[in-house]
Structure 1
Amino acid sequence: MTTSPLDSTPDASPSETPDSGPTDTDTDTGTARVPARSATIGIVLAALAITTIALNLRPGATGVGPLMEDIVGAYGQGAFASGLLTALPCLAFGVLGLLAVPISRRVGLTGALVAAFVLVVIALLLRPVSGAFSLFVGLSVLALLGPALGNVLVPAWIKLHGGARTVGLMTLYSVMLAVGGSAGAALAVPLAGSADNGWHDSLQFWGMIAVVPVVVWAFVLTRTGHDFPPAPPRGELGGSLLRSPTAIALMVTFSMQSLNAYTQFGMLPQILTDAGIGPARAGVLVAVIAGWGLVGGLVMPTVIAKVKGLRWIVGGFGVLTTAGYIGLLLAPGASPLLWACVLGIGGFAFPTAIALLPARTRNPLVTARLSGMAQPYGYILAAIGPIVAGALLGATGSPDVVLWFLAGTGLVLAAAGFRAGLPRMVDDEIAS
């Protein structure tokens, strides 16, 4: 698999980001380090840019789930359509994310983000008024282009332009990403109101908000110009990643957590509504699950750096995921907030998997190759889950069957997470 300097950048936790000094060699590993580029924009503009784009990377996806019944009903569609719309973010992040490096190589990191978000604004504004379901799906894919590129390019942009402020900007990015995801789910129903076509206004709201990062990043572009980073020194460690049990475990961990996250965003509101919970409260509960991602993003990089017995922690997130679904099965109305919190803590598997990519590799080129396998292909595998969940719901009409399916994926997550948490290095496994 061909890699680039960007492939390893998005997955580095803040604690692993190189400082802005001129050091060319990592004294701990002996591997080459590319000198960090000095900051080209001020801290206020950098913080504003990161805040505005991070807040807009998730609402276009998470704002659909609480309105799913109204959307598919308006187009005369059924449960399979719900599963398809739920799977789209995973498919887009996986497939379109592979375009991030080629596009940014041509127009720069900043230029790629500006162009992508111009398309996002157009797609989000036109999507609700499209006359056919196929057009709605097509515009949804276009609306996810910006987030798909942003997942890869924004952390790379921070590393390139952040300088001594890189850690702070990465923390800001993680926080705002979680806030945006939660806001999309929590505000979907209130923004729709009581009108028959209120879901139009709710979805279009995020198109109007997405104008803000376009304006801010267009100004940033005047300061950065073409800002694709230079190529690293030649040389790459050989060996297939398929020979590494740790690499495979990380990919499965990533895919199972993403499968659960986007099925939760897309279908859990409907499942909670069928259990007797009001639509607005169902949206808030899904927002609570997403909001726990904020805590996980802040806590897990430090835990990984300081705790050696990670296998029980990472495996435990899968167990918690299964426990949350079983709670919704056995007592859906008794304490839905409790089950939402359990599922939210189980979702710590996502920031953990991201942080383990550099933690389980020594050479940065291996990190790049591992990232290039785990994220895009993990998202593509994750997209199967919502489609299966939608098909199960359509065939049986029972939300309980979907919950049992998701509970089973939690056990797969537990097993993969346990293996990924073992203190093994991918470098050693592919070289042996």
Structure 2
Amino acid sequence: MSQDEQGGKSPDPVPGAGGFRYVAPTLLASVAIVLLSVNLRPGASSVGPVLEEVRVGLGMSGGTAGMMTALPGLCFGAFGLVAVGLARRIGVTSSIFLSILAIAAGLTSRVLTGSTALFLVTTALALAGMAVCNVLVPAWIKRHSVDGGVLLMTIYGAGLTLGGALGSLVAAPIASASPWGWRAALGVWGVVALLAVLPWVPILVGERRARRGRIPLPRVREARIASSPTALALTLLFGIQSMNAYVQFGWLPQIYRDAGLSAVYAGALIALLTTLGVLGGLVMPTVIHRSPTLAPWMLAMGALCVAGYAGLLLAPATVPWLWAVLLGLAGFAFPTTIALITARTRDPRVTARLSGFVQPVGYLLAAAGPMAVGVVHDLTGGWTEVLIFLMASGVALVLTGLRVARPVFVDDELA
């Protein structure tokens, strides 16, 4: 890596996997990742605190609301499957750029309709953009990093959780203060998403000049990614933690509200939970880089997960902040799993393939969780069965986490 690149000046194309590639200056890449990452979760996390208002405003049934809370996982899975193919056709950065535009368009247009069907369709458009970014950003980071991805993955993981926290924190206050209610609370994120477009314009222009308009993601003749035991375990781990995350985004505010807490307080508790994930995003990439094993961390995350749901089951309104803290610390599993996608690979092409397998399949596995919660809650009228199931997921998190705790590279398993 040249001194110009490290100093932030415009770099020249440099040799990389599959030919010459443009490497964005470190400062520009960091800004681009910050603004992108904070926009990849509020579109989902902002719905939970105003879920009841959205249901009433659009006339949604409990089952439809359950499907809506499952929509992030479904879309992240389904559209994530096409991300790598899209990148091969138009380039990684072009795919990310168009996806950001889709996010902004979907989040803005969904608050302008009174139709439940159109609300779900436009939400799916925004989530499709997020899905493509979910898969391609780790590979983009691997290509544009001077340290193997530690710095940019730290920024990315922290930004994801910060965005999720902000979505939960400000939704109810905005809905209460604005005459447009929940529409203002959700629509503001469409405007914010437009800001994320700005730094990607010079990056896209730089790549087009360097590569005459395109950076393909070359196909490599290697074993199927599913033949890697680490990839399979990482996929299960991703699915378990994603299921918990989207159940928390979609239903935990309602659990708190049913326990007698206000919508604003419930939203603040979810923000507290997700804000702790920012700490995880800042810490875990370095922990992964330096630790010979992550086994103690995986055991701790699983235990905290079980304890947090047990508290919600036994005394949800007694010390509600404590349960949020425990679940927030257990949520270190999210930035851990994201960071492992780059940490367990060497070649950016393998990173893309691993990300294109782990995230879509993991999200599809996770999508059943929020939907099942809605159905079970409608059938039972309570949260006991739901919380017992979620406690069991903490045990599953430990079992899968222990498999990826050792520093094994997927590249070696595919060789």
After TM superposition, is the score higher than 0.5? yes
Distance 1:264 1:235 in 2: 40
Residues 328 and 336, structure 1, Cα contact 8 Å, conserved in 2: yes
Q: Which letter does structure 2 place at the counterpart of 1:408?
A: A
> Where do residues 361-380 of structure 1 align in structure 2 (5 Å cutoff)?
369-380=353-364
Per the alignment, in what secondary structure is the counterpart of residue 23 of structure 2? coil
- Is residue 208 of structure 1 aligned with residue 191 of structure 2? yes
Question: Equivalent residue for 2:365?
Answer: 381
> Where do residues 176-187 of structure 1 align in structure 2 (5 Å cutoff)?
176-187=159-170
Among 172, 175, 194, the alignment partner of 2:158 is 175
Question: Equivalent residue for 2:324?
Answer: 340
Question: Equivalent residue for 2:286?
Answer: 302
Summarize the Cα distance change of 1:135–1:146 in structure 2 as closer, same or farther, 3 Å threshold: same
Q: Compute the displacement of 1:104 (Å).
A: 2.8
Q: Compute the displacement of 1:99 (Å).
A: 2.1
Among 278, 284, 291, the alignment partner of 2:268 is 284
> Structure 2 stretches of 5 or more lacking a match?
1-11
Question: Equivalent residue for 2:125?
Answer: 142
Per the alignment, in what secondary structure is the counterpart of residue 82 of structure 2? helix
TM, length-normalised to structure 2: 0.85
Question: Equivalent residue for 2:300?
Answer: 316
Among 190, 201, 219, the alignment partner of 2:173 is 190
Question: Equivalent residue for 1:121?
Answer: 104
Q: Which letter does structure 1 place at the counterpart of 2:42?
A: P
Q: Which letter does structure 2 place at the counterpart of 1:318?
A: G
Per the alignment, in what secondary structure is the counterpart of residue 196 of structure 2? helix
Distance 1:78 1:276 in 2: 22
Distance 1:21 1:165 in 2: 18
Residues 15 and 21, structure 2, Cα contact 8 Å, conserved in 1: no
Summarize the Cα distance change of 1:420–1:161 in structure 2 as closer, same or farther, 3 Å threshold: closer
Per the alignment, in what secondary structure is the counterpart of residue 215 of structure 2? coil
CA RMSD of aligned residues (A): 3.0
Distance 2:40 2:224 in 1: 35
Q: Compute the displacement of 1:140 (Å).
A: 0.6
- Is residue 241 of structure 1 aligned with residue 202 of structure 2? no
Residues 84 and 356, structure 2, Cα contact 8 Å, conserved in 1: no
Residues 315 and 416, structure 1, Cα contact 8 Å, conserved in 2: no
Among 52, 55, 79, the alignment partner of 1:72 is 55
Q: Compute the displacement of 1:146 (Å).
A: 2.0
Question: Equivalent residue for 2:3?
Answer: none
Can you list the C-alpha shifts for 1:256-310, whole angstroms capped at 9, x where unaligned? 1000001100110011111111111111111122112222122223323333343
Among 248, 251, 266, the alignment partner of 1:267 is 251
- Is residue 98 of structure 1 aligned with residue 100 of structure 2? no
- Is residue 417 of structure 1 aligned with residue 404 of structure 2? no
Q: Which letter does structure 1 place at the counterpart of 2:302?
A: G
> Structure 1 stretches of 5 or more lacking a match?
1-19, 25-32
Residues 36 and 160, structure 1, Cα contact 8 Å, conserved in 2: no
Question: Equivalent residue for 2:113?
Answer: 130
Q: Compute the displacement of 1:162 (Å).
A: 4.8
Q: Compute the displacement of 1:190 (Å).
A: 1.0
Q: Compute the displacement of 1:357 (Å).
A: 4.2
Residues 78 and 394, structure 1, Cα contact 8 Å, conserved in 2: no
Q: Which letter does structure 2 place at the counterpart of 1:241?
A: A
Residues 295 and 401, structure 2, Cα contact 8 Å, conserved in 1: yes
Number of positions where the alignment pairs a residue of Structure 1 with one of Structure 2: 400
Q: Compute the displacement of 1:189 (Å).
A: 0.6
Summarize the Cα distance change of 1:423–1:214 in structure 2 as closer, same or farther, 3 Å threshold: closer
Residues 56 and 180, structure 1, Cα contact 8 Å, conserved in 2: yes
Q: Compute the displacement of 1:206 (Å).
A: 0.8
Question: Equivalent residue for 1:160?
Answer: 143
Summarize the Cα distance change of 1:36–1:321 in structure 2 as closer, same or farther, 3 Å threshold: farther
Summarize the Cα distance change of 1:363–1:222 in structure 2 as closer, same or farther, 3 Å threshold: closer
Per the alignment, in what secondary structure is the counterpart of residue 81 of structure 2? helix
Distance 1:428 1:166 in 2: 19
Residues 63 and 375, structure 2, Cα contact 8 Å, conserved in 1: yes
Q: Compute the displacement of 1:370 (Å).
A: 4.1
Summarize the Cα distance change of 1:366–1:52 in structure 2 as closer, same or farther, 3 Å threshold: closer
Percent identity at matched positions? 44
Among 228, 246, 249, the alignment partner of 2:215 is 228
Question: Equivalent residue for 2:315?
Answer: 331
Can you list the C-alpha shifts for 1:13-49, whole angstroms capped at 9, x where unaligned? xxxxxxx99898xxxxxxxx77884535x55543332
Summarize the Cα distance change of 1:201–1:372 in structure 2 as closer, same or farther, 3 Å threshold: closer
Once structures 1 and 2 are overlaid, which stretch shifts more, 313-322 or 266-275? 313-322
Summarize the Cα distance change of 1:362–1:284 in structure 2 as closer, same or farther, 3 Å threshold: same
Can you list the C-alpha shifts for 1:333-377, whole angstroms capped at 9, x where unaligned? 222111111101111112222344455567877665544332211
Q: Compute the displacement of 1:408 (Å).
A: 1.9
Distance 1:218 1:383 in 2: 33
Q: Which letter does structure 2 place at the counterpart of 1:261?
A: A
Question: Equivalent residue for 1:6?
Answer: none
Distance 1:281 1:412 in 2: 30
Among 378, 388, 395, the alignment partner of 1:394 is 378
Q: Compute the displacement of 1:127 (Å).
A: 0.7
- Is residue 48 of structure 1 aligned with residue 35 of structure 2? no
Q: Compute the displacement of 1:129 (Å).
A: 2.6
